[in-house]
Amino acid sequence: MVFGNWWLRILALSLGILFFVVSSFAEKAPYASFARDATSAPPTDHYDYIIVGGGTAGCPLAATLSAAARVLLLERGDLPYNNPNVTQISGFLKSLADTSPTSASQLFISTDGVFNHRARVLGGGSAINAGFYTRASTEYVRRAGWDPRLVNESYAWVESKVAYRPQIMQWQAAVRDGLLAAGVAPYNGITYEHLIGTKVGGSIFDEKGIRHTAADLLEYADPSKITVYLHATVQRILFRTSPGEKPKAYGVLFKDSKGYNHVAYLNSGGRNEIIVSAGAMGSPQMLMLSGIGPARQLRAHGIEVVMEQESVGQGMSDNPMNALIIPSSRPVEISLVQVVGISNIGSYIEAASGFFELSSLHQIVGDYAHVANQSMDAFIMRMRANENQTSANTKVGVILQKIMGPYSSGYMEVESRDPNVNPRVTFNYFKDSRDLERCVGGMEILRRVVESRAVSEFLYPLTSFESLKRFVLSVPINLRPKHVAATYSMEHYCRDTVMTLWHYHGGCHVDRVVDPDYRVLGVDSLRVVDGSTFYYSPGTNPQATVMMLGRYVGQKILQERNPE
User: 234 a known binding residue?
Assistant: yes
User: Max CA-CA distance within the chain?
Assistant: 77
User: Distance between CA atoms of 151 and 142, rounded to whole angstroms?
Assistant: 11
| Distance of alpha carbon 126 from the chain centroid | 7
Strand partners of residue 399? 324, 351
CA–CA gap between residue 68 and residue 71 (Å, rounded)? 9
Q: Are 510 and 490 within 8 A, CB to CB? A: no
483 a known binding residue?
Answer: no
Query: In sequence order, what DSSP letters do the residues of 55-118 get, joined into one string?
Result: STTHHHHHHHHTTTS-EEEE-SSB-STT-HHHHBGGGHHHHHH--STT-SEEEEE-TTS-EEEE
Residue 33 identity (one-letter amino acid): S
Secondary structure of 473-521 in HEC code, one letter for each residue: HCCCCCCCCCCHHHHCCHHHHHHHCCEECCCCECCCCECCCECCCCEEC
DSSP assigned state of 222: -
Contacts of 230 (CB under 8 A, 6+ apart): 35, 36, 37, 38, 75, 77, 78, 79, 122
Helix (H) or strand (E) segment spanning residue 297: helix 295-300
| Residue 305 β-bridge partners | none
Non-local CB neighbours of 329 within 8 Å, separated by 6+ positions: 395, 458, 459, 460
Helices (H) and strands (E) in the chain, counts: 16, 26
Is 503 annotated in a binding site? The answer is: yes
Q: What is the DSSP letter of 386?
A: T
450 marked ligand binding residue: no
Sheet harboring 44-47: ordered strands across?
44-47, 261-266, 248-255, 233-240
Asked if the peptide bond before residue 516 counts as cis, ω within 30 degrees of 0, the response is: no
**331 labelled ligand-binding:** no
22 assigned to a ligand binding site:
no
- Catalytic site residue 503? yes
- Alpha-carbon span 472 to 115, nearest angstrom: 16
The catalytically annotated residue of 117, 194, 503, 505 is: 503
Among residues 361, 292, 294, 305, the alpha carbon closest in space to that of 328 is found at 361
389 is in an annotated binding site: no
Please name which of 195, 21, 44 lies closest in space to residue 554, comparing C-alpha atoms.
Answer: 21
Amino acid making up residue 48: D
Residues identified as active-site? 503
Binding residues for FAD: 121, 234, 502-503, 531, 542-543
Binding residues: 121, 234, 502-503, 531, 542-543
